[in-house]
Amino acid sequence: MADVTAKRLPQPGNGCEKGLKAIMNKGIVARLLFLVLALTLLAGCGSSFSPKSSEPPTPASLSADNLNLIFVVSEDLAYQASGDINPSTANLTNQGLQRSLLMAPFLQQQVLGMQNVTGIYALEPMTHLQTAGKYPDIVALETIQQFAMLNQTTISYGGSPPVTANSYPIFASYSLEAALPPDVAPPAFLCAACQGLDFRHQDGDNEVLVSGILKANAPGFYVFSAPWETVSAVMANLNQREGYNLTLPASYISPNYIYAISIAPSGSASLVTYDSHITPPATYPVLSPPPASTACTAQTHFSITVTGGQDGAVIPAGTNTNETVYFVRHADAHPYNWWDDGNYIGEGQWRALDLPNALRDKIHPTQVYAIDPSVGNPGGDGSIASSYVRPALTVEPYAIANNLPLNLAASVPVFSQNPPEQPLSTFASAFFFNGGAFSNQTILVGWEHDHIPPTVNALLTSYGGNGPLAPTKWPDTDYDTIWTVKLDAVGNVTVNDGMCEGIDSGTLPNTPPQF
């Protein structure tokens, strides 16, 4: 045994110090007895040794034989842990983002027992607008995104071998039966299988979603991410409707709590409560190792300027002034160009989380926008039914790190104008560049790569004249380039692709970063 009496022990205060000295003066006391007594005194003196014997053990992982409804409570302005939500933006803080990243492995390991998830459902952001700015609630999606990256999805295309990636679709689309929220464009595609959770509980749509899962009666792990108001209402309704007689939590406790209603094959149900005990740091997450940088060589460089009164160009009425828009593509999403689950993949999580670092000192936006993640994709050969969450989740970490809200261009019917059949995205162009709403603003926009050129070219075309257009095709393998659009004090426009994020896709791991 090591000679513990020869080592300097931590110096407790008050009566504890006297107790330790008394013991140390008795050289004849057995070393083992001294160690036990010293630790006992230290424990009673408020040292860092704090056994948690009084706390109940973490429940066992859920059974894959059961149908498990797992509720992760995302944070909002009404129910949150101190320091997790920015009161001005209703978005996560760095601390709140850290909590979501740390919650993911707990959910995977302790709750699901390393089993693959069966379905992930998140709040439809536009159904819950907060602050005077009416910012959509993107927190529920970000809360569950790292967990989605810890799962895997396999997709087939034609006669090709199936392809598996570290990613999982998150369903956050609007119910086909419920009325859309205000200022939301009707969906271009109907996707009944993509429904998420509605903060408004419009026309009982949340109950329809959960009832559908119960009716299908497929064992597995169904994870829901929504604020306490929604989670508590869904659990209470389910408990009453099905007659489970469960003792549900009476009030909000903490974002560390996860509730699971586990339904056995016999039909009996039990409530299992997990506490992750997470204490997140308040700093932005550090990626290890940091992603490798790269030069801006993914696209052939171009620069176009259109000036009113030259070459037949006329500045359109209502064109914004003193505006800069940076278009970025969503993070890495396709292990093959046909593979699509609406989310990005493990490599993309590295890019999204590194975006604040990559863009530091390059751009200084005042606003961040993205496609509404509730846009649905009905799926097909090479893709699966999913909500189009990846553009919003790509720029969300940047918004968090820079204390900005994440806005959604929900009134733009993005996929109702698709190239090459419709080469100009006039709806998106009008939204961003006309009407004055974004005059004197600098905006970072997370978008779909096939729709960035048509949006920019719709703007250029609106000036008339004989000027050139931007390239009509964004390379499928390019996740790095940034297109910059600038409108000057009178509405003359300049477009170029001379800047990039500088993150090397080729070196990004195919598994997400671990926290």
Is residue 189 over pLDDT 90?
Answer: no
Q: Percent of the chain, pLDDT > 70?
A: 89
pLDDT of residue 235 exceeding 70: yes
What's the average model confidence in pLDDT over 431-460? Answer: 98
Confidence class of residue 2 from pLDDT cuts 50, 70 and 90? very low
Apex 156 CA angle, 153 and 159, nearest 5: 160
* SS3 readout for 188-202: CCCCHHHECECCCCH
In angstroms, the CA 169 to CA 223 distance is: 12
pLDDT at 20 over 90: no
Q: What is the pLDDT of residue 54?
A: 59
- The structural architecture, per CATH, of the domain 303-507 is 3-Layer(aba) Sandwich (3.40)
Full DSSP string of 316-342: PTTB--SEEEEEEEPSP--SSTT-B-S
**Is pLDDT at 151 greater than 50 in this prediction?**
yes
CA distances to 33, 44, 184 from 49, rounded to whole Å, are 18, 9, 54
Q: pLDDT at residue 42 above 60?
A: no
Return the HEC string of 84-134.
Answer: CECCCCCCECHHHHHHHHHHHHHHHHHHCCCCCCCEEEEECHHHCEECCCC
Which phi and psi angles does 310 have, rounded to 5°?
-115, 140
Residues across the chain: 515
Quote the CA–CA distance of 8 and 261 in Å, as a whole number. 51
* More confident: 6 or 437: 437
Instruction: Please report, for the chain, the start and end positions of each structural domain, with discontinuous segments joined by +.
Output: 4-44, 67-275, 303-507
Residue whose structure tokens are 């961040």: 368
Give Cα 39 to chain centroid, integer Å.
44
Distance CA 346, CA 147 (A): 11
HSE on the CB side for 454, CA within 13 Å? 20
- Cα 314–316–317 angle (5° rounding)? 130
Distance CA 359, CA 246 (A): 49
Q: How many helices (H) and strands (E) does the chain have?
A: 10, 18
464-480 confidence digits (pLDDT tens): 998 999 999 999 999 99
* Rounded Cα gap, residues 43 and 14, in angstroms: 14
Same fold for the pair 67-275 and 303-507: yes
Q: Which helix (H) or strand (E) holds 472?
A: none
Going by C-beta distance under 8 Å and a sequence separation of 6 or more, which residues neighbour residue 376?
A: 173, 174, 187, 189, 190, 191, 194, 385, 386, 387, 388
Q: Of the candidates 506, 108, 443, which has an alpha carbon nearest to the alpha carbon of residue 274?
A: 108
Edge-to-edge strand list for the sheet holding 303-306: 303-306, 493-500, 481-487, 323-329, 442-447, 367-370, 406-408
Contact of 343 with 169, CB cutoff 8 Å: yes
Say what the pLDDT of residue 53 is: 46
Cβ–Cβ < 8 Å for 115, 60: no
429: closest CA among 403, 409, 449?
A: 409
pTM, 2 dp: 0.89
Interatomic CA distance for residues 94 and 259, integer angstroms: 25
pLDDT at site 57: 86
The mean predicted confidence, pLDDT, of the chain is 91
Q: Where are the alpha helices (DSSP H) in 160-316?
A: 205-216, 228-242
Closest listed residue to residue 365, CA positions, set 319, 394, 405: 405
Write out the CATH class of domain 67-275.
alpha beta
pLDDT in tens, 354-394: 999 999 999 999 999 999 999 999 898 899 999 999 999 99
Secondary element (H or E) of residue 356: helix 346-359
